[in-house]
Structure 1
Amino acid sequence: MALLSPSSAQDRTPPARDGGGSGTPAARDARGILRSVWIWPTLITFVLTVYQIGIPQLWEDELNSWDMAARGTGELLSAVRNVDAVLGAYYLFLHGWMAVVGESATAVRLPSALAMAGATACTALIGRRLFGRRAGLTAGLLFTLVPVVTRYGHEARPYALVVLAVALSTLLLLRALDRPGNRWRWAGYTLSLAAVGLLHLVALTALAGHLVVVALHARSERRTAVRFGLAALIGVAASAPVALLGRAQAGRQIAWIPEPDLSSLLTFWPQLYASALAAGAVTTLAVLAWGERRDAVLSATALAVLPPLVLWVVSHGDVSYFYYRYLLFTLPAWVVLAGAGLTAARSRALVAAALVVVALLTLPEHQAMRKPYAHFWHGVDYEGAARTIQKYHRPGDAVVYDRGPDYWRMLDVGVRFYLPDGLRMRDVFLAESAADRNDLWSTECPDPAACVKDERRIWLVVGGNDADPFEALPGPQARALRARYTASGTERLTGVTVALLRRRS
């Protein structure tokens, strides 16, 4: 059907009359790529996401990613049987990536930057197929300007890859619907849908939007509906083992997410864009698209709106899944609608002016994304703590990490990440590491006094900036250290204190 065709009449451009003699085929192909609707938005997104990608310090969730991915393959597979099964595929991917690229902050975040660039390309191509070339190009450029794209393009977590997987699955579905008899196109859609489920089960709510797209396109074409149903069934089935494990672990992993009320359907929008201004601009432009082709508008709206509604409904059971970053994959559909709404004005000057205004309005948020503690709710200077230890370290030093009530700060993992590979110290109160326990958390020595040996110096790393660093430790640990050590130097950093303890003579 023509309603979801790759281009519209208003965007058709007559072919160039070069008589076949304007350069080699390779040169013509290169010019064709440079004129493609996706290339410039994709390059801009990549540049914006890679720029200063290593400056924000890794926060707790990213440290979990690094800690899990840095384990051996066997240890990693054993761990996801107990915890974080829904992220297991991402951890395995990151494990292989780090083996090749390295483990710096830039290295572990680079897949997310690449994924956001890929998602930009898919967004522009979806916009072109639904609303035409100009709308696709505008959608791609709007996508690059939304601050959350940079925020999660700087994140060593799977969310950017999920955005790419869902956008790619939508694009491949549209291609399959163009030629419903082509089994390879349906196979591509099936594989992309399997990737969605393996990366993040919640993102399979995108199927609600896909179902509407198929219904609008196929209408009475029963064979197309059957092909879609079979492809969706196989794609979802691929993630069934992850779903079973994830369901058993959900109470531990996401019990902190509250059950949403009606206001949650509105209040999560600014978080979805990491900018209230961007949310308002994109939503306003999306509304303007309702004067365009009906089926295309309904398709894009379903892709944008149905997943949050489905997730809101299912979050009123035993477990709530309604959280903004789990719905980042709806962003391409929103900017496709916004691109169609903006280009409906038929004025290139107006489109360019609107893009410039959005860029200026969101510039402060883009700048904030690149600050050292941009990823934190409460900043912790792991890098500064590691730098202090490295500067004054001596062979034979040991270390004590605060794993008290604020264990979620992951002081041990954060400092280890920023310490040089060759600088390793005995962890005085560590009984069993997280890797040995096949878990995210370690266990500590039940008898602290017995675990204190004869090290002359111990580094104490605790959360906060209390006047007495010993006070941050559990009582038995503090007493065991006080009995034999005294603090000879203390450095208070953002969210963390480092003290050097010397053995009493």
Structure 2
Amino acid sequence: MVTPSSAPSSVAAPVLDRPPPARHPDGRRDDGQRRHGVWLWPTLVTLALTVYEIGRPLLWEDELNTWDMAGRSLGQLLDAVQRVDAVLGTYYVLLHGWMTVFGDSATALRMPSALAMAGTAGCTALIGQRLFGHRAGLAAGLLFALTPVVTRYAHEARPYALVVLAATVATLLLLRALERPESAWRWTAYALSMAAVGLLHLIALTVLAGHLVAVARRARGERSVALRFGCAVLAGTALVVPVALLGRAQAGRQISWIPGPDLWGLVTFWPQLYASALVAGAVTTLAVLAWGERRPSTRGPLLVASALAVLPPLLLWAVSHGDTSYFFYRYLLFTLPAWTVLAGAGLCAVRSRGVVAAVLVALAVLTLPDQQAVRRPFAHFWQGIDYEGAARTIEKYHRPGDAVVFDRGDDYWRMLDVGVRFYLPDRLRPRDVFLGTSAADRAELWPTECPDPAACLKDEPRIWLVVAGDAADPLDALPADQARALRARYTATGAERVTGVTVALLVRTSS
């Protein structure tokens, strides 16, 4: 018979030193309802928060790139990742299959991210339960759910939410393997989870820094644990080597815009990591309170959770002082679960359920402005671009036979053509006058343009012109040869300006 511990209910025996007890530290049996409750409520709360208004923010440039890449044929997609975005290839393939079943609306594109964040909340609660007990696990999962950045990236058709889930699942599976290190199945599951982490985003493999700390503590009493861990890591990361080699070769053109971080960068990225200075301060404060407990039974779990939270940013900051910088807050979102686990332990250190509930409710209320901010139409943009408004203008006044010209120039990163095409209905696909070779056909992120603009005009009666900005003469935004060819045959009859975009109508002059 297992003797109940005298520790408070929020503190569990450390799983890193021995298998978990059959009962909770307060003596109550760990029944199925209690186990399910610790992950169920955080999962449901996160799902509700992330699904709400998921389609409201406009797709921004990176999401449009996702839609364009994942919407290609599988052969075109695999050809493209040989040249660009290899590190995102796994995500594109997964989303390609998802789109085949569920369509390509903004809601459909983002739903995998929302589901991933909901799953992460449940896993976060289970990790917190294993390390610090039931109440701490439940608090950790709910704190994760209430963090505004969780909603922000649940509303993002990019792989970051899936990366957070994969890294959190890997941590949970490692803790399970350390409970029963003789189980080959548990180590196999962990190896596969680490492969998933690397295939979704190479930078997230820095989570291994925290895993090493957990293994080092457990291996002090059983050296074979280190060997099993090493074999699992090698097996998992071996599957990632081809992607790593391609990604390294492509890094110069994909993340060269990230500046090398200085020491102050370790501080300034903090509020961005939470999308809320208030939550950043609250979680950090609660994490410090967890360390204030200083109970022998929690020292190991606190050390491991802290390593998972702190070591990846420090490691990424250090390696970003070479030729390529990788230090960007959204690449480190996978550390959030560890921070909320620490915060959950600190919150439950007060040993009053009423206080815990009051803090969670207060945080939910105080972060409402931050939650509203991440749901605004232009919440995802550095500079707002109303693709939907531009598409709505063309749809409203469209006539059969109309064509379109897009400003691709030096600002092609704005992806005006892809953005307008996304928001136009499928039945409306005007000819892209100056399109040479499409991005899909050339296995790239962007297309080429017609080398002789005058020859590419087919005497369409009307051409829609879509350019960035709000210049008085929209034709001035085009390359000189394109503008010259259009002016020779067409006259601008009007323009409508929406955020970041001008849509003008050109009508053919009589010859």
TM-score of the two chains, using structure 1 as the length reference: 0.95
Report the counterpart of residue 282 of structure 2 in structure 1: 281
Report the counterpart of residue 436 of structure 1 in structure 2: 441
Report the counterpart of residue 21 of structure 1 in structure 2: none
- Measure, in 2, the Cα distance between the counterparts of 1:405 and 1:63: 18
Q: Which amino acid aligns with 1:129?
A: R
Aligned residues of 2:174 and 2:190 also touching (Cα < 8 A): yes
- Measure, in 2, the Cα distance between the counterparts of 1:209 and 1:7: 24
SS in 2 for 1:455: coil
Report the counterpart of residue 9 of structure 2 in structure 1: none
SS in 2 for 1:37: helix
* Residues 1:182 and 1:429: Cα distance change in structure 2 (over 3 Å): same
Q: Does structure 1 residue 3 correspond to structure 2 residue 14? A: yes
Q: Which of the numbers 462, 479, 485 marks the counterpart of 1:480?
A: 485
Report the counterpart of residue 405 of structure 1 in structure 2: 410
Q: Does structure 1 residue 346 correspond to structure 2 residue 360? A: no
Report the counterpart of residue 135 of structure 1 in structure 2: 136
How many residue pairs align between the two structures? 492
**Where do 5+ consecutive residues of structure 1 fail to align?**
17-27
Deviations 1:292-340 (A, max 9, x none): 5100100000000000111111111111100000000000000000000
- Measure, in 1, the Cα distance between the counterparts of 2:51 and 2:172: 25
% identical aligned pairs: 72
Q: Which amino acid aligns with 2:412?
A: Y
Deviation at 1:3, TM superposition (A): 2.0
Aligned residues of 2:391 and 2:420 also touching (Cα < 8 A): yes
Q: Does structure 1 residue 372 correspond to structure 2 residue 377? A: yes
Deviation at 1:362, TM superposition (A): 1.2
Deviation at 1:2, TM superposition (A): 4.7
Q: Does structure 1 residue 222 correspond to structure 2 residue 236? A: no
Report the counterpart of residue 360 of structure 2 in structure 1: 355
SS in 2 for 1:36: helix
SS in 2 for 1:443: coil
SS in 2 for 1:491: strand
Aligned residues of 1:7 and 1:130 also touching (Cα < 8 A): no
- Measure, in 2, the Cα distance between the counterparts of 1:473 and 1:32: 64
Report the counterpart of residue 445 of structure 1 in structure 2: 450
Aligned residues of 1:463 and 1:495 also touching (Cα < 8 A): yes
**Where do 5+ consecutive residues of structure 2 fail to align?**
1-11
- Measure, in 2, the Cα distance between the counterparts of 1:347 and 1:217: 32
Report the counterpart of residue 461 of structure 1 in structure 2: 466
Aligned residues of 1:7 and 1:132 also touching (Cα < 8 A): no
Deviation at 1:10, TM superposition (A): 6.9
Aligned residues of 1:398 and 1:428 also touching (Cα < 8 A): yes
- Measure, in 2, the Cα distance between the counterparts of 1:6 and 1:142: 24
Aligned alpha-carbon RMSD (Å) = 1.6
SS in 1 for 2:38: coil
Report the counterpart of residue 100 of structure 2 in structure 1: 99
The 10-residue stretch of structure 1 (422-431 or 222-231) with the greater mean CA deviation from structure 2: 422-431
Q: Which of the numbers 460, 475, 478 marks the counterpart of 1:470?
A: 475
Report the counterpart of residue 160 of structure 1 in structure 2: 161
Q: Which of the numbers 293, 315, 325 marks the counterpart of 1:310?
A: 315
* Residues 1:15 and 1:307: Cα distance change in structure 2 (over 3 Å): closer
- Measure, in 2, the Cα distance between the counterparts of 1:343 and 1:147: 22
* Residues 1:435 and 1:8: Cα distance change in structure 2 (over 3 Å): same
The 10-residue stretch of structure 1 (60-69 or 360-369) with the greater mean CA deviation from structure 2: 360-369
Deviation at 1:270, TM superposition (A): 0.5
- Measure, in 2, the Cα distance between the counterparts of 1:38 and 1:6: 18
TM-score of the two chains, using structure 2 as the length reference: 0.94
Runs of 4+ in 1 over 6 A off after TM superposition: 7-10
* Residues 1:137 and 1:176: Cα distance change in structure 2 (over 3 Å): same
* Residues 1:169 and 1:262: Cα distance change in structure 2 (over 3 Å): same
Q: Which amino acid aligns with 1:315?
A: S
Aligned residues of 1:11 and 1:133 also touching (Cα < 8 A): no
- Measure, in 2, the Cα distance between the counterparts of 1:368 and 1:467: 32
Report the counterpart of residue 25 of structure 1 in structure 2: none
Report the counterpart of residue 427 of structure 1 in structure 2: 432
Deviations 1:69-110 (A, max 9, x none): 000000000000000000000000000000000000000000
* Residues 1:50 and 1:443: Cα distance change in structure 2 (over 3 Å): same
SS in 2 for 1:389: helix
Deviations 1:218-266 (A, max 9, x none): 2141111100000011111111000000000000000000111111111
Report the counterpart of residue 6 of structure 2 in structure 1: none
Q: Which amino acid aligns with 2:353?
A: R
Deviations 1:373-412 (A, max 9, x none): 1111111111111111111111111100000121111000
Aligned residues of 1:6 and 1:128 also touching (Cα < 8 A): no
SS in 2 for 1:430: coil
Deviation at 1:7, TM superposition (A): 6.8
Deviation at 1:216, TM superposition (A): 1.2
SS in 2 for 1:206: helix
Deviations 1:8-33 (A, max 9, x none): 987545349xxxxxxxxxxx96x567
Aligned residues of 2:13 and 2:131 also touching (Cα < 8 A): no
Aligned residues of 2:23 and 2:29 also touching (Cα < 8 A): no
